[in-house]
Amino acid sequence: MTSRRSAVVPELTAWLEARQPYNEHETYLAERYPDEQIRLALALLGQDLQNAVSNADMVPRLLDDAPHEARVSLPEILQVLRWIEQSVPESIAKISVRPLIQQFEIFGLHAARLDLREDSAMINSAVGELLRALKLHPAFEDAPADERARLLTLLLQQPVPALARNAGVTLPTVETAKLFRLIRRVRTIYGGELLGPFIISMCKSAADVLAVLLLARWSDCADGMFIAPLFETIDDLRNAPTILQTLFTNPVYQAHLETCQRSQMVMVGYSDSNKDGGFLASNWNLYQGQEQIAETCQKYDVRVTLFHGRGGSIARGGGPIFRGVQMQAPNSLRGRFRLTEQGEVIGARYATPQLARRHLEQMTHAVITASTPDMAKAQLPAHWRETLESTAEVARQTYRSLVYQSDGFMDFWRQATPLDEIGRLRIGSRPTKRGSGGVIQVGNIRAIPWVFSWMQSRFNLPGWFGLGSGLSSVGVAVLQEMYSEWPFFRAMLSNAELSLLQADMGIASQYVRLVSDQTLAKHFFQQIQDEYNRTRDVILAITGESHLLANEPVIQRSVEVRNPYIDPLNFIQVEYLRRLRALPDPESKPAQDLRDVIVVTINGIAAGLRNTG
């Protein structure tokens, strides 16, 4: 496009002059095509992007305080593109330039923001080590939460101390300090809009949030940083409103909120709350927790966005998205809904543009519908709350009695499921259990292998166990009323129906035969089977249907069509697990050959059930 046929606007000419001197290639373009100023402008923008692009040594370079050659910025790119839009014929602007401007306006220079996430124990350990080096506290990480909060508040009100370039002695502390330096450099060079929230896993107190704020302040990257506490266990969900109130009344955190436009992101975890208290207790405490979090934020004039840490399985908050939104406390949405999508769910929902558009439309419709003023103002009848409170407690006790308080249950679980084989798979972002060393226990097992192992063996225990005992502890009439009139309760039971339909006690019994102590195995299996029957019967009594998911024939038919293809894989898996465990050397070549077959069955069962956990 030459200026002889389409004159460029004066602003673009002035910008090109201000960008001199040019490099060798840009000088060549300017001399070779003197009338093609748009070509030169695009070449300059392209070079800016090239200078800023990530490469193999990007992280070391970013951790270096030396000047960085990246100078690209979204406002400048957009301004130059708008000048080009004004300088070309309308037909070209419409087809080539305007869509590009829209893409930059929507996605920026990053397409998707990068969230950051670290465990609260790691953060506190790093702060503790730094404070010991500064002779400010001998054992910060072991101090009570309120004491830590007072000290952190005091330190956040004082000048930043002189820290070594590579602060910390132990490797985890050095790495944590580097992370915050990296955040500062990224924000300085590329801007803060490409970074999402800093998520604190296993957040248990306001001090955990203030500890992140301290590290950010000492690294000069605190302003505007969204710090999102992640409440994962049932106790943490119950304590969340108090923790937030403590933060919102803290003068230091109040000042920080102002740099974030008084917006707070709060993440709630479905996986660990389910592992902690079972299906019913987890869902009810998530509902109440979100309700109270929203109320607390509204009380202190803080705009909240709830971030749902959901997995693919029902036990980890999965299931149909419209139903999932229905399960939220209405006043907690307010038009904002953030969630994780992971594993096979990504393929199922976003594999094609048509699928993705349909899913996003369903989610948008659900959030808008659930955020209407009438829904937000809806009040639950007191007797519904009392009923669910009592049933959830019975369900929690039933679940914990089996999972946490039964001697030998861990051995039963490991032997009646392919847990060890799942642990060897090169999938997932994290190891099978938290922490290093020690034996696997329910308390330290990651949620994905916990759910995945039960799903593979067709128990699907996390998706329903305890629910039958809880619901059977009250009269069916009030439960029928709740099912008819309360979207949350109806959606929860529908999810449980799907979990029950995917489970198969007949096939599960074949896995039970793998347990070395058959007396113990039969004892636990009888408990599980009795609870399965109890859960199925009470749900059918509430829904008034003759069989599970009778009111959702499409989903029911989908499960029924897939199961005959999955069942043979389970039988093959059981046989190969039996052969593998009979070998004297679990690391031998024959053992590896057997594992290769087991991996195929694991993949096939997961694909058939459309679930990995």
Q: What's the pLDDT band for 340 if we cut at 50, 70, 90?
A: confident
370 in a domain, yes or no?
Answer: no
Rounded to two decimals, the pTM is 0.84
Q: Which residues contact 42 (CB under 8 A, 6 or more apart)?
A: 84
- Predicted pLDDT of residue 11: 95
Token code pair at residue 543: 């829904």
DSSP letter at 516? S
The residue-averaged pLDDT of 139-163 equals 94
- Predicted pLDDT of residue 61: 61
- Predicted pLDDT of residue 248: 97
- Predicted pLDDT of residue 609: 80
Token code pair at residue 129: 């080590």
91 in a domain, yes or no?
Answer: yes
3-state SS assignment for residue 232: coil
pLDDT at 231 over 60: yes
pLDDT at 535 over 50: yes
Say how many C-beta atoms besides its own lie within 10 A of residue 377's C-beta. 9
48-52, 286-290, 585-589: the lowest-pLDDT one: 48-52
478-507 pLDDT, tens digit per residue, is: 999 999 999 889 989 999 998 998 899 999
Rounded CA gap, 200 and 50, in Å? 34
Token code pair at residue 158: 């004082």
pLDDT at 324 over 90: no
- Predicted pLDDT of residue 434: 60
pLDDT at 444 over 80: no
- Predicted pLDDT of residue 262: 95
pLDDT at 477 over 90: yes
The verdict on whether omega for the bond into residue 21 sits within 30 degrees of 0, i.e. cis, is yes
CB of 276 closer than 8 Å to CB of 447? no
In angstroms and rounded to an integer, the radius of gyration of the C-alpha atoms of the chain is: 28
3-state SS assignment for residue 133: helix
- Predicted pLDDT of residue 561: 84
- Predicted pLDDT of residue 6: 78
The residue-averaged pLDDT of 503-516 equals 94
Say how many C-beta atoms besides its own lie within 10 A of residue 567's C-beta. 16
Average pLDDT of the chain? 88
The residue-averaged pLDDT of 542-560 equals 86
Q: Which residues contact 94 (CB under 8 A, 6 or more apart)?
A: none
539 in a domain, yes or no?
Answer: yes
Say how many C-beta atoms besides its own lie within 10 A of residue 374's C-beta. 7
Domain boundary among 56, 72, 107: 107
- Predicted pLDDT of residue 55: 52
More confident call, 313 vs 19: 19
Domain boundary among 51, 83, 107: 107
3-state SS assignment for residue 586: coil
180 in a domain, yes or no?
Answer: no
122 in a domain, yes or no?
Answer: no
61-82 pLDDT, tens digit per residue, is: 666 666 666 677 889 999 999 9
269-283, 378-392, 477-491, 577-591: the lowest-pLDDT one: 269-283
Q: What's the pLDDT band for 56 if we cut at 50, 70, 90?
A: very low
CA distances from residue 251 to 52, 150, 153, 241, 254 in whole angstroms, order as listed: 38, 11, 8, 18, 5
The residue-averaged pLDDT of 583-590 equals 91
- Predicted pLDDT of residue 295: 93
Domain boundary among 57, 76, 107: 107
570 in a domain, yes or no?
Answer: yes
Which helix (H) or strand (E) segment holds residue 434: the answer is none
Question: Which residues form the domain of 591?
Answer: 382-609
477 in a domain, yes or no?
Answer: yes
- Predicted pLDDT of residue 553: 84
- Predicted pLDDT of residue 337: 87
Q: Strand order in 303-309's β-sheet?
A: 114-119, 195-201, 227-231, 263-269, 303-309, 338-339
- State the Cα angle at 344 between 342 and 347, rounded to 5°: 95
171-211 pLDDT, tens digit per residue, is: 889 899 989 988 998 888 778 888 999 999 999 999 999 99
- Predicted pLDDT of residue 86: 94
- Predicted pLDDT of residue 448: 75
The residue-averaged pLDDT of 290-308 equals 93
Total domain count, the chain: 2
36 in a domain, yes or no?
Answer: yes
